[in-house]
């Protein structure tokens, strides 16, 4: 399968080729890859591809792959409507 057809970030439809090209061109961190390509910025917030992006970038930059996660975790844990968040709907809440 070609790099062009291998999708790394499914939400934003970013291919392996795009990620490889970005790292070669800018020799940058996975954080910068994210900002330049939108990989990891989609609906799932990088839950699916974060680890894969980190691994690809570490590999291309010939860095030792460590347990450190470069791409950050941010709330909410999963998508939530503004209605539930703002207190209009009280889904799964006891109060």
Partner 1 sequence: MTSFDIVVIGAGIIGSSVAYHLSKAGYSVALVEKGDIAHGTSSRCDAVALICDKKPGIDTEMGFKSIQLYKELAKEFSFDFEFSSRGSLYVCETEQELEIAGDYVAQQRADGYDMKMVDNKELLEIEPYLAKDLRGGIWTEVDSTMNPYLVCFAFIEEAKKYGLKLFTNHEVREITQSPDGRVESVITDRTTIHTNRIVNCAGVWAAKIGQMVGIDIPIRPRKGMVLISEKTKPIVNQKVHEFGYMLSKFEDITYKRAVSKLVEDNNIAFTIEPTEADNFLLGGHRAFKGYDISSENDVMRGIAERAIRFLPILKDINCIRAYAGIRPWVADHLPIVSEVEEVPGFFIASGHEGDGISMAPITGRMVTQLITGQETDFNIDRLNFSRYKLLEKV
| Residue 5 or 78 with smaller CB distance to partner 1 | 78
Does 21 contact partner 1 by CB under 8 A? Answer: no
Is the previous residue joined to 39 through a cis bond, with omega within 30 degrees of 0? no
The Cα 7–Cα 77 span in angstroms is: 23
Q: How far apart are the first and last CA of the chain?
A: 52
The Cα 82–Cα 32 span in angstroms is: 29
Q: Which of 17, 31, 48, 52 binds partner 1 (CB under 8 A)?
A: 31
| Residue 7 or 44 with smaller CB distance to partner 1 | 44
Q: Applying CB under 8 A, which residues contact partner 1?
A: 28-29, 31-32, 35-36, 38, 41-43, 45, 74-76, 79-83, 85-89
């Amino acid at each position: 399968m070609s790099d062009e057809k291998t999708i790394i970030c499914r939400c934003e439809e970013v291919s392996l080729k795009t990620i490889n090209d970005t790292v070669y061109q800018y020799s940058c961190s996975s954080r910068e890859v994210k900002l330049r390509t939108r990989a990891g910025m989609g609906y799932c917030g990088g839950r699916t591809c974060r680890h894969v992006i980190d691994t690809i970038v570490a590999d291309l930059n010939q860095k030792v792959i460590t347990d450190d996660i470069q791409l950050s975790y941010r709330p909410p844990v999963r998508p939530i409507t503004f209605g539930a968040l703002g207190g209009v709907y009280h889904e799964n809440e006891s109060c």
